[in-house]
Amino acid sequence: MEKMKVVVCSKYGPPEVLTLKEVEKPFPKDHEVLIKVKATTVHIGDTKVRRLEPGLGPVSDFFFKPLMRIKLGFRGPRIKILGMELAGDIEAIGKDVKRFKIGDPVFGSTEFEFGAYAQYRCMPEDGILAIKPANMTYEEAAPISNGALTALHYLRKANIQKGQKVLVYGASGSVGTYAVQLAKHFGAEVTGICSTANLEMVKSLGADKLIDYSKEDFTQNNDTYDVIFDAVGKIIPSKRKKSLTKSGIYLNVLSLSGNVKLKVEDLIFLKDLCEAGKLKSVIDRRYPLEQIVEAHRYVDKGHKKGHVVITV
């Protein structure tokens, strides 16, 4: 049998629990495609699973960690190969596949089935998978498949109208960078909140106004917003109420209702936006698959701008 390289997470813990191994290369079932992966990412979901971290504070951790073990695996992740965003080329197809052909460049999300930290990944043809934007590299396309889809999912809940005021908190992160661009596309006046080092980058994505959270508390400036998009889940309820208009909507990407059902139609919508030059990916760093530990270590620091991409 032909072999492939994968990154295995056999137990919960620091980045060092990730190890490079060789396993059998998969073979596509009748309705599946086999993707030769060119790029994946260190998604926040990967790091939270690796650390067994709900990210909801110490009290919540007490209750949720046992529940997470039931869902994800007791001593380590049940799914050993992490990675939920990918881009690559279709190398083989099952006999009943209609949507794709061999050689197609694609991008997609495996969601919580993970498995993208590998040289090859089988995916169902009706999964969250589409032809890659023609004007994007594999590295630029991979994070669109989950980060931008998540931003789009939540922003659509707000039904943004032209001229409304949208605040994006955590505007320089994976989801935040896309939220700024998408809110702008929907006609909003966008205010981005980030650190000093990221102000220019967020401005370049189309933000109309900028707030440096290290120098200014947005709840103290008397501005109100039609939508507050919390891309990092850090705004406490009392603060956000003060800054919302009477009919304003608060969107928290890390909320418990965050079991987002991604749609392939939305992925195709985003592909069209990318090809029209209206959506781009911000890549902070690139690492080869062999340096996955260093990549996770960097993401764990919590200062990344946009995305950390793994080239396979």
Please say whether the dihedral angle defined by the alpha carbons of residues 156, 158, 163 and 164, taken in this order, is positive or negative. Answer: negative
Compute the distance between CA of residue 309 and CA of residue 39 in angstroms, rounded to an integer. Answer: 7
79: its two tokens: 């799914």
User: 126 and 84: one domain?
Assistant: yes
User: 35 and 141: one domain?
Assistant: yes
Asked if residue 258 is part of any domain, the answer here is: no
Confidence check: pLDDT of 42 > 50: yes
**What whole-number percentage of the chain has pLDDT above 90?**
80
Domain boundary among 252, 274, 302: 252
171: its two tokens: 């505007």
Asked if residue 182 is part of any domain, the answer here is: yes
User: 275 and 136: one domain?
Assistant: yes
- Find the angle CA(68)-CA(73)-CA(74) to the nearest 5 degrees: 90
User: 278 and 302: one domain?
Assistant: yes
Residue 236 has a pLDDT of: 86
For 212-236, the pLDDT digits (tens) are: 999 999 988 889 999 999 998 888 8
Residue 303 has a pLDDT of: 86
User: 31 and 127: one domain?
Assistant: yes
User: 42 and 112: one domain?
Assistant: yes
User: 112 and 198: one domain?
Assistant: no
User: 288 and 209: one domain?
Assistant: no
Asked if residue 259 is part of any domain, the answer here is: no
Residue 59 has a pLDDT of: 36
User: 268 and 158: one domain?
Assistant: no
Q: Which H/E stretch holds residue 5?
A: strand 3-9
Question: The domain that contains 27 carries what CATH number?
Answer: 3.90.180.10
**What whole-number percentage of the chain has pLDDT above 70?**
92
Rounded mean pLDDT, 200-220: 95
Confidence check: pLDDT of 150 > 50: yes
Residue 57 has a pLDDT of: 39
Could you tell me which of 18, 162, 138 has the C-alpha nearest to residue 76?
18
Domain boundary among 217, 252, 287: 252
- The answer to whether 32 and 97 have CB atoms below 8 angstroms apart is yes
122: its two tokens: 């089988």
Confidence check: pLDDT of 253 > 50: yes
Burial of 275-300, coded b for 16+ CB within 10 Å and e otherwise, reads eeeebbbbbbbebebebbbebbbbbe
User: 131 and 280: one domain?
Assistant: yes
Pairing of strands 32-41, 120-124: antiparallel
Confidence check: pLDDT of 36 > 60: yes
Asked if residue 232 is part of any domain, the answer here is: yes
Confidence check: pLDDT of 278 > 60: yes
Determine the residue type at 120. Y
pLDDT band with cut points at 50, 70 and 90 for residue 64: low
Residue 191 burial (CB < 10 Å; 0-12/13-18/19+)?
buried
Compute the distance between CA of residue 163 and CA of residue 183 in angstroms, rounded to an integer. Answer: 10
Confidence check: pLDDT of 192 > 70: yes
Residue 61 has a pLDDT of: 46
User: 133 and 153: one domain?
Assistant: no
Confidence check: pLDDT of 55 > 60: no
Rounded mean pLDDT, 86-110: 98
Confidence check: pLDDT of 260 > 90: no
Helices 264-275 and 147-158: angle between axes, nearest 10 degrees: 100
Confidence check: pLDDT of 60 > 60: no
Domain boundary among 210, 231, 252: 252
Structurally, how many domains does the chain consist of? Answer: 2
Residue 179 burial (CB < 10 Å; 0-12/13-18/19+)?
buried
pTM, entire model? 0.92
Angstrom distances, CA of residue 295 to CA of 118, 190, 209, 306: 15, 31, 31, 14
User: 139 and 156: one domain?
Assistant: no
Residue 173 has a pLDDT of: 93
Question: The domain that contains 196 carries what CATH number?
Answer: 3.40.50.720
Asked if residue 271 is part of any domain, the answer here is: yes
Domain around 72? 3-145+264-311
274: its two tokens: 């990318």
